[in-house]
Amino acid sequence: MKRIPSNILYNILERNGLEPTDKNKYFLIRCPACNHKEAFLYKDSTSIICNRRNKCGYTEDLFDFLKESRGLNKINVLQELGEEIKEELEITEYDEPEPELEIPKGIKFFFEVKSGIMRDQAYNYLKTRNIPDENIEKLGYIFEPSSYFNKTIFFPFFENNTLRYFTCRDWTGKRITITDDGKKKQVRYLNPKGISANKFLFNYDEIKEGEEVFLFEGLMDALSLKDQVGTAYIKATVSNSQASKIWEKLPSKIILVPDNDKAGIDNIKRNYNVLFKYKPPSHDAEVLIYSLPDYVKDFNETGENYIPSSKAKTLKQFLFKKSLEWKRKASF
């Protein structure tokens, strides 16, 4: 289903007593919890966030609120507004269910198994990647010969203490697939089919309200930090859904840690803009970038497990530093 057009979103808010005021990029609305008109909802999102920090802190998806208050789900709400909305959003089936997350067989977590051939293989792989023991304890491994995920490390994505997504990493280096053009390609990460990773954040539950958040492009990079509070993984680019979830925690700083290549630099510009697009209007917080040494590709390669936020730079400072590095390399 396409994004809900702003005029339809306005009608939904108005019909359900949230008194929307159009503020160009977002709607200012009455908070369902504290009843003050200090909550907001961006037009390409459905997350309600109350801006009365330390007084309310209400955050909830609009359709979760409607389900709780009126017993309506998203489809019911859209049906209320008429058939023309169905046509505009190109909805073919109102009751199409979202795919259910199927948990692979054969998962064992490192905290519950202390020895074994397969356990040791998976553990040793993570140690060669500089992952601290306290972070390995939160992960699992899969040994089930009949499973598509056999001999992989299991990375769970918990949100509100519920497993919402996962990805798996082959630790053998022997998994090969054949591409469409007939070439062999090594497979490293395996994901559940039919569910988009862009909706979820690795370590979401470790983001604490009002504290710093570090965003990494790779799982191994994120897991390299010893202190996992405020550490998240976003693949290469942050999605609208992820940006909205991050700002729900009203972080004091968001620190991007990009890969040290052209793709990483290009992604930084996009991610910076997406994050600022979802920044709460009156929330005072910086989005900064941590610049890696020019001799490594990503944070995991540094062998470090701590990032001082004081070394993070503004986007302008970061791009200026990178331009100097590229000029210096080109001169040799």
What are 78-110's pLDDT values in tens digits? 666 655 455 555 444 434 456 789 999 999 999
Whose tokens are 């503004």? That residue is 314
pLDDT of residue 65: 81
Task: Please report whether residue 102 resides in a domain.
Answer: no
Round the average pLDDT of the chain to a whole number and report it: 84
What is the rounded distance in angstroms from the CA atom of residue 253 to the CA atom of residue 222?
A: 17
Instruction: Give the Å distances, CA to CA, from 47 to 23, 75, 243, 248, 317.
Output: 16, 17, 11, 8, 32
What whole-number percentage of the chain has pLDDT above 70? Answer: 87
Task: Please report whether residue 115 resides in a domain.
Answer: yes
pLDDT of residue 89: 52
Domain boundary among 161, 195, 229: 195
The model's confidence at residue 326, banded by pLDDT at 50, 70 and 90, is low
* 209 and 303 share one domain: yes
pLDDT of residue 1: 44
pLDDT tens digit string along 298-323? 999 999 999 988 899 999 998 888 77
Q: What is the CATH number of the domain that holds 80?
A: 3.90.580
Residue 50 has pLDDT above 70, yes or no: yes
Residue 203 has pLDDT above 90, yes or no: yes
Q: What is the mean pLDDT of residues 20-41?
A: 88
Amino acid at 80: E
* 144 and 258 share one domain: no
Lowest mean pLDDT among 172-176, 208-212, 261-265, 306-310: 261-265
Residue 323: CB atoms within 10 A of its CB come to: 11
Residue 139 has pLDDT above 60, yes or no: yes
Task: Please report whether residue 93 resides in a domain.
Answer: no
Domain boundary among 195, 220, 248: 195
* 279 and 222 share one domain: yes
* 189 and 209 share one domain: no
pLDDT of residue 211: 92
Q: In what order do the strands lie in the sheet with 47-50?
A: 21-22, 26-29, 39-42, 47-50, 59-61
* 222 and 292 share one domain: yes
* 216 and 178 share one domain: no
What is the rounded distance in angstroms from the CA atom of residue 259 to the CA atom of residue 265?
A: 7
End-to-end CA distance of the chain: 52
Q: What is the mean pLDDT of residues 45-70?
A: 77
* 185 and 210 share one domain: no
Task: Please report whether residue 95 resides in a domain.
Answer: no
Q: What is the mean pLDDT of residues 190-213?
A: 90
Residue 72 has pLDDT above 70, yes or no: no
pLDDT of residue 332: 45
pLDDT of residue 85: 55
Task: Please report whether residue 175 resides in a domain.
Answer: yes
pLDDT tens digit string along 152-197? 999 999 998 999 999 999 999 888 877 777 778 888 999 998 888 8
Please tell me the pTM assigned to this model: 0.72
* 324 and 253 share one domain: yes
pLDDT of residue 302: 92
pLDDT of residue 21: 92
What is the rounded distance in angstroms from the CA atom of residue 170 to the CA atom of residue 116?
A: 18
* 53 and 137 share one domain: no
- Residue 202 gets which letter from DSSP? B
Residue that wins the pLDDT comparison between 238 and 88: 238
Domain around 73 = 6-88
pLDDT of residue 279: 85
Amino acid at 135: N
* 206 and 312 share one domain: yes
* 15 and 116 share one domain: no
- Domain count of the fold of the chain: 3
CA 213-218-224 angle, to 5 degrees, is 70
Half-sphere exposure of 90 (CA within 13 A, CB side): 3
pLDDT of residue 92: 42
Domain boundary among 88, 116, 143: 88
Task: Please report whether residue 295 resides in a domain.
Answer: yes
Q: What is the CATH number of the domain that holds 293?
A: 3.40.1360.10
pLDDT of residue 107: 96
What whole-number percentage of the chain has pLDDT above 90? Answer: 38
* 143 and 166 share one domain: yes
Task: Please report whether residue 157 resides in a domain.
Answer: yes
The model's confidence at residue 127, banded by pLDDT at 50, 70 and 90, is very high
Task: Please report whether residue 299 resides in a domain.
Answer: yes
